[in-house]
Amino acid sequence: MAYVELHCHSAYSFLDGASHPEELALRAAELGYEALALTDHDGVYGSLELAHAAKLVDVRAITGAELTLHGGAHVTVLVESSQGYANLCRLLTAAHAYTRPKEGELLPPALDPALLAELNDGLVCLSGCARDGLGVRDPNAAAELARAFGRERFYVELQRPFERGDARRNALLRDLAEHTGVETVVTGNVHAHHPRRTALQDVLVAIRHNTSLEASERERRGNRESILRAPAELLECFPDDRDAVHRTAEIASRLEFDLTEELGYRYPDFSDGDVPAITQLAEVCNDAFAGRYPPSNKVLLGARALTGNRGGRPRRR
């Protein structure tokens, strides 16, 4: 396999990505991908959807997210193991905890880079996108993260959106990788599964910024390059970075976490029987809760007093 896309957004990157996870999975299969990562902004909202859809078309789904750091720079984080998924969830929770109402304004998610450096076990980190990546915005901070993750789990991300300054930016990023002692990796920063969906992506970005298409030229991807490409096309786009293209498949082979198998629980199968699924689920939860948290006499007596029922259960009205 020549290439695996490790930086991809779905419609769960609200008003930015323009394709559903199922569409991305199907298109990846059509293009011959063996695996595909979903890295929506500051969340894993579409990851389980992609994981199930990808299995149906024999594509391996990789779980990840594009994290926004304090100051606005981005990094791409990919899950390597169950511990990595747990750490990613903790990081996302911390980023959204920063979203506090302040004088009626809701702040966007933002993560302390120090916490990312601390909770790095089981994760692979890429230096971020061409516009707002940490490697572009703050190379020194990227180097600090590289030291925390180590050579085997931090990579400098190269992208080519065919915008002014591509060549100079990628040259600087190669220098950053060399001086930091890490490798480079190519990503596509995908926002649409097919070229015909890119017009919608432009409109979504304009809506998000509450402005017109013309006024949002910098924010939107008007050159229509942020699509899921055939693996062979990436080799053509990066003739001087073929190793960085092939390295995506090497990284993907290590990202073995399967969101459909390794969460540690299974949703009960309520397909048989006459009892409604919600009633069966309530019974399962109540039994599990009682087994883990057996009531003391004091708690039981308090519950009976509150319910007015000696059996300890609420009376039905």
Q: What is the pLDDT along the chain (317 residues), one digit of tens a residue?
A: 689 999 999 999 988 899 999 999 999 999 999 999 999 999 999 999 999 999 999 999 999 999 999 999 999 999 999 999 999 999 999 999 865 555 556 678 999 999 999 999 999 999 999 999 999 999 999 999 999 999 999 999 999 988 888 999 999 999 999 999 999 999 999 999 999 988 888 888 888 778 887 777 677 665 678 899 999 999 999 999 999 999 999 999 999 999 998 776 666 677 777 888 888 888 888 888 888 787 765 555 555 555 555 444 544 44
Helix 166-180 vs helix 139-149: crossing angle, to nearest 10:
40
Residues 237 and 277 in one domain: no
Residues 177 and 102 in one domain: yes
Residues 143 and 65 in one domain: yes
Domain assignment of residue 16, yes or no: no
For the chain, the domain total comes to 2
Domain assignment of residue 10, yes or no: no
118 in helix, strand or coil?
helix
The range of the structural domain enclosing residue 294 comes to: 267-317
From the number of C-beta atoms within 10 Å of its C-beta (0-12, 13-18, 19+), residue 107 rates as exposed
pLDDT value of residue 114: 97
- For the whole model, what pTM was predicted? 0.81
Residues 173 and 285 in one domain: no
Domain assignment of residue 317, yes or no: yes
pLDDT value of residue 199: 85
From the number of C-beta atoms within 10 Å of its C-beta (0-12, 13-18, 19+), residue 168 rates as exposed
Residues 182 and 304 in one domain: no
Residues 228 and 273 in one domain: no
Domain assignment of residue 262, yes or no: no
Residues 187 and 280 in one domain: no
Residues 200 and 165 in one domain: yes
Helix 21-31 vs helix 47-56: crossing angle, to nearest 10:
40
66 in helix, strand or coil?
strand
